[in-house]
Structure 1
Amino acid sequence: MGSKNKLKRFKENETFKNVIQPTREEVQEGFKHKGLWKSYFGNDNPIIVELGCGKGEYTIGLARKEQNKNFIGIDIKGARFWKGAKTALEEGLDNVAFLRTQIELVDMIFGANEVSEIWITFPDPQIKYKRTKHRMTNKVFLEKYKAVLEPKGVVNLKTDSEFMHGYTLGLLQGLGLEVLYANHDVYKNEGSPDEVLDIQTFYENQYLEKGKPITYIQFRVN
């Protein structure tokens, strides 16, 4: 994407009513929406969060399917989720918001028990050992999810990385956390939820064309 195109998207994001772009300092010093997201949406519907939402395809796909729930896509790259934000506005999806900030601040963005469900779709597996701290299902991140999820809230991990799938399952077992469902090839093995099969991102389609299996885990952290 050219720099001019990026700048154009950044400017458009500033005009979108469904895009929030706080500074890191604003989040760390007391984010104004923390604990008040239901007021932001104007209803008491459950809040579902996609971390590292990219172009917002999964956030939008889920919001279309379940309009009695609120969805928030989070990514630091605003030029990417521009498309999702624009699509939500064009389709009148009032149950969608996009937040431009760092994923590791998730426990500063939401209050305790404020989130019903978290989706992590095709994250960088950070395979090298020295990158473990950036892996989105490491122990530190799991503690952050626990801090914001409601009791019995769930985390969904959908990935093309067999390493990430295996690492996460092993960690969850070691920590004694509840795995609700696991599938190492969702399109060959039956049983995955409809939202796992019916929504496909641009990158997921590329992985499928290369014959890579898509894996999925749903688990609890509290």
Structure 2
Amino acid sequence: MGSKNKLKRFRDNASFKNVIQPERDEVLQGQFVLRNRWETFFDNSNPIVLELGCGKGEYTLALSEKNPGKNYIGVDIKGARIWSGAKAALEAKRTNVCFLRSQIELIDLLFAPGEVHEIWITFPDPQIKYKRTKHRLTNLEFLQKYRSILAPGGKVHLKTDSEFMHGYTLGILHASDIPVTYANHDIYHNGGAPVEVLETQTFYEKKFLEADKPITYLSFSFTAP
């Protein structure tokens, strides 16, 4: 993408009412005004669902259309990517979806304890090299942050084409005594996966399927409902 296009998208994001872009220092200093007050943004108290590393927001948009009684927030640091999802949501007049431009490492400063009901992590970079472990979205530090913001019984979903990421996450969960509610290393051939997992597909997921690459999925919850 050319720099002119990126700059235009950044300007658009600044004007989009469904894009929130807090300053990092604002968040670190505990001054992010929507933390524990997200109902004021959506004008309702419906359950909040996050998609972390949402990219263009394909999953966020698809789930928000299927579940109008929930509020969806796509989180990503790449403004030029979330522009696509934000623009599509505005064009569809979707009021239960927005996009938050921020680092995922700040997630526990963006949402209060118990404020989130579900988390989706879809096709994240597996960060396979050992020195990149701290960037894996299911490492122990990130899991602790998710635990802190999830309501009792809240679920985390991981859908990925990376067998490494799937196995790594299962290992972390088992070692931490975090109950796995469902795990499948090839959801389109083994059967039994939740409908919303099968019916919602990203652009890259479709490419993986065309190449006959297995798609894995697992879900877990830190506490009972």
Normalized against structure 2, the TM-score is what?
A: 0.97
Tell whether the 8 Å contact from 1:142 to 1:221 is kept in structure 2 after alignment. Answer: no
1:5 alignment partner in structure 2: 5
The offset of 1:204, in angstroms, is 1.0
- Contiguous gaps of at least 5 residues in structure 1: none
In structure 2, distance between residues paired with 1:191 and 1:10: 41
Offset, 1:221: 2.5
Q: How does 1:52-201 map to 2 (within 5 A)?
A: 52-201=53-202
Matching residue of 2:15: 15
AA aligned opposite 1:180: T
TM-score for both structures, normalised by structure 1: 0.98
User: How far apart, CA to CA, are the structure 1 residues paired with 2:167 and 2:184?
Assistant: 11
Shift, 1:190, TM fit:
1.1
Q: Amino acid of the residue matched to residue 135 of structure 1? A: R
Q: Show structure 2 runs of 5+ residues with no match.
A: none
Which residue pairs with 1:210 in the alignment?
A: 211
Q: Deviations over 1:2-49 (max 9, x none)?
A: 111111111111111000011111111121110111121111100000
Task: Note if contact 1:145-1:221 (Cα within 8 Å) is conserved in structure 2.
Answer: no
CA distance in 1, matches of 2:145, 2:68: 27
CA separation in 2, counterparts of 1:58 and 1:92? 17
For residues 78-129 of structure 1, the C-alpha deviation after alignment (integer angstroms, 9 at most, x for no partner) is 1101111011111111000101010110000000000000000000101111
Q: Following the alignment from structure 2 to structure 1, what is the Cα–Cα distance between the partners of residues 37 and 28?
A: 16
Name the CA distance, whole Å, in 2 between partners of 1:127 and 1:26.
Answer: 32
Structure 1 runs, 4 residues or longer, greater than 4 Å off = none
**Displacement, 1:212?**
1.0
Contact 1:45 1:70 in 2 (8 A): yes
CA distance in 2, matches of 1:84, 1:151: 29
CA RMSD in angstroms, aligned pairs only: 0.8
| Matched pairs, number | 222
Tell me how far apart the structure 2 counterparts of residues 38 and 154 of structure 1 sit (CA, whole Å): 20
